[in-house]
Structure 1
Amino acid sequence: MARNPARPLSPHLTIWRWGPHMLVSILHRATGTALALGGGILFIWWLTALAGGEASYARFIDLMTSDATGRLNLIPGLVLFGLTWSFFQHMSTGIRHLLLDTGAGYELKINKMGAVATLVVSTTLTVLVWGAILMRGH
């Protein structure tokens, strides 16, 4: 079947100028996936350790919380920090979408400000939560 050259092509990503609203849309999907997979695996691991008895649970807690010097383990710490940020980003974007569903916030400037606000709020809440967690240990 031949294409009609008078008919316009559908828009695609190469013709759109990237903005925060596009980034937040993609991040919403990515954070949802990270929470479902990463959070699910971590939750199942935690439940398995809990069901395995006191020694198994103690090993899990030691691995996820601190090393021999009492500092947070790097890899588990990054995973937990990432899941925390993913949670707050996904929640913030979900609230933004809830507001958009009411018909508010579709003006370009307000839409971009709302998208940037989700990034600022999620990062701020993540830093506050982890600041409280890390300061509690000292």
Structure 2
Amino acid sequence: MIEASPGGRARPLSPHLQVWRWHVTLAASILHRLTGLGLYAGLLILTGWALALASGPGAYGAYMGLLGSILGRVVLFGLTVCLFFHLANGLRHLAWDAGKGFTPRTADATAWAALAFGVVAAAAVWIIAATSGAL
């Protein structure tokens, strides 16, 4: 993909997502950005919880009722997955900053490991919370 510039020289265009072959490392990179955005949404939910707590028992009870609903629990579980995946993938990035893990095989394996850790760790936290009576 080349475009002629005004000076007449051919310059390459930036690759588009339709050009790239999807693989787990690409998906992990995109998910890292999306989970970062999800964590910001979680911060807004936490802020709403603090405001409800400060507003009194009625507001707190209503907010906790919302968070305790099926939809609220699905959102909170998703945020837990976001947190653990973002943590694991952030460690991948720290390893990359140290110059480690750049071979395709290692990059793919660590991407799968970050994805698996996000789901398994979130499930473990929710199972522990459910069995301890916190939910």
- Paired amino acid for 1:134: A
Rate the CA distance shift 1:45–1:8 in 2: closer, same or farther, 3 A: closer
RMSD: 1.9
Q: What is the Cα deviation at residue 132 of structure 1?
A: 1.3
Are 2:63 and 1:60 equivalent residues in the alignment?
yes
TM-score normalised by the chain length of structure 2 = 0.85
The equivalent residue for 1:16 is 20
Which protein, 1 or 2, shows the higher relative CO under an 8 Å CA cutoff with sep ≥ 6?
1
Q: 2:109 aligns with which of 113, 128, 135?
A: 113
Structure 2 gaps, min length 5: 1-5
Structure 1 gaps, min length 5: 66-72
The equivalent residue for 2:48 is 45
User: Separation in 2 of the partners of 1:107 and 1:86?
Assistant: 26
Q: Percent identity?
A: 36
Question: Which structure is higher in strand share?
Answer: 2
Q: What is the Cα deviation at residue 44 of structure 1?
A: 1.9
The equivalent residue for 2:97 is 101
Q: Which moved more, 1:53-62 or 1:108-117?
A: 53-62
Rate the CA distance shift 1:42–1:4 in 2: closer, same or farther, 3 A: same
TM-score normalised by the chain length of structure 1 = 0.83
